[in-house]
Amino acid sequence: MHISPSQNHQLATVHCNLPLIWVCFFLRTKALTMVIAGQFPHLTFAFGLMGNIISFLVFLSPLPTFHKIYKKKSTEGFQSLPYAVALFSAMLWIYYALLKGNTLLLITINSVGIVIETFYLCVFVFYAPKKARMESLKLIILFIVIGFGLIVLMTQFLLKSAQQRGVVVGWICLVFSLCVFVAPLGVVRQVIKTKSVEYMPILLSVALTISAVMWFFYGLLLGDFNIAIPNTLGFTFGIIQIILYMMYKNKKQVTDAKTTEYTEKTREVNEHESRGPEVRDQNIIDMVKLNISVSADEKVPNPQDVAVVRTPVVANHTVEVPA
């Protein structure tokens, strides 16, 4: 799909106005939760159950990564930060649910999340080299021991009633979830800059978007804006990612086709190297032309004008934990 300058301008305008749009939606959602809270118990349970199922699948999404780590007996370039953040988030939401009450479906999915994320971190620490292992242990201590421990101690000793604790912890969960949902902005910026969806796992983006919708309606019907509000941002960024994927997916396919053609040409040069200098020189010229074409599509400078085959870079999984 060709993106005109006017479309790019419209996209940039929408992106700039997102904070104002979201604040207005925040206020309207908070008011709406107060109006319809508790009026549709069966519908609330249905959305919560669907949220549990989808969130469970999202929790399992890094399994291919850890299967690769297990087979290679090394964590290679993967990072443990997403899993430490996911574990901290799950523990925080369980603590909030216990203080709030009447949020069984919030407890069930985050309990499962704690087990899964703990397993991921154990596998990561076991196979990580010494430096990465120490960094992972520092993250675990920072988020779980210090971060979560301080939140529990301070709310238990400084606040007198469970209702006050629930309000404070709810706001902490809300702010932290907003920070987690803002994380895809880096991917969005990279997609717009490179005009390639190579770094965007579309299936995970769709799953997170649907999950955000389920948890938004669960929080809305339950009358809990701490659950509903963060997922409005998750839904918004999920839709943006899907739109960007539809806009730039053909661009990636064209580039991949040219890269494949260039690779085949390289193989042809190797096969026909013994046929004489004229054939070899012509093939090398064709290779350089194809390489320049691929470099132009990817907007990657090639000052030496040499033929280099680029292998695709696979981005790490980023686990986002819904409310």
Could you give the CA distance from residue 170 to residue 101 in angstroms, rounded to a whole number? 12
Is residue 237 within 8 A of residue 184, CB to CB? The reply is yes
pLDDT tens digits, residue range 60-97?
Answer: 988 988 999 999 999 877 888 889 999 999 999 999 99
Lowest-pLDDT choice from 72-86, 178-192, 233-247, 266-280: 266-280
* 17 domain residue, yes or no: yes
pLDDT tens digits, residue range 210-250?
Answer: 999 999 999 888 888 888 888 888 888 888 888 888 888 87
Could you give the CA distance from residue 25 to residue 31 in angstroms, rounded to a whole number? 10
* 19 domain residue, yes or no: yes
DSSP per-residue letters across 284-304: HHHHHHHHHHHHHHHT---TT
Give the domain range for residue 76: 5-250
Residue 50 CA to its chain's centroid (Å): 20
Which of 216, 250, 284 finishes a domain? 250
Please tell me whether residues 242 and 257 are part of one structural domain. Answer: no
Please tell me whether residues 188 and 287 are part of one structural domain. Answer: no
* 239 domain residue, yes or no: yes
pTM over 0.85? The answer is: no
* 311 domain residue, yes or no: no
Token pair, residue 37, equals 């809270």
* Of 189 and 270, more confident: 189
Please tell me whether residues 67 and 210 are part of one structural domain. Answer: yes
Residue 105 CA to its chain's centroid (Å): 23
Please tell me whether residues 162 and 126 are part of one structural domain. Answer: yes
Question: What pLDDT does 205 receive?
Answer: 82
Mean pLDDT of 31-50: 76
Total domains in the fold of the chain: 2
Could you give the CA distance from residue 9 to residue 31 in angstroms, rounded to a whole number? 33
* 116 domain residue, yes or no: yes
Residue 244, SS3 per DSSP: helix
Could you give the CA distance from residue 315 to residue 48 in angstroms, rounded to a whole number? 31
pLDDT tens digits, residue range 243-258?
Answer: 888 888 876 544 455 5
The position carrying tokens 């990465």 is 132
CA–CA–CA angle 45, 48, 49 (5° rounding):
85
Asked whether residue 17 carries a pLDDT value surpassing 60, the answer given is no
DSSP class of 74? S
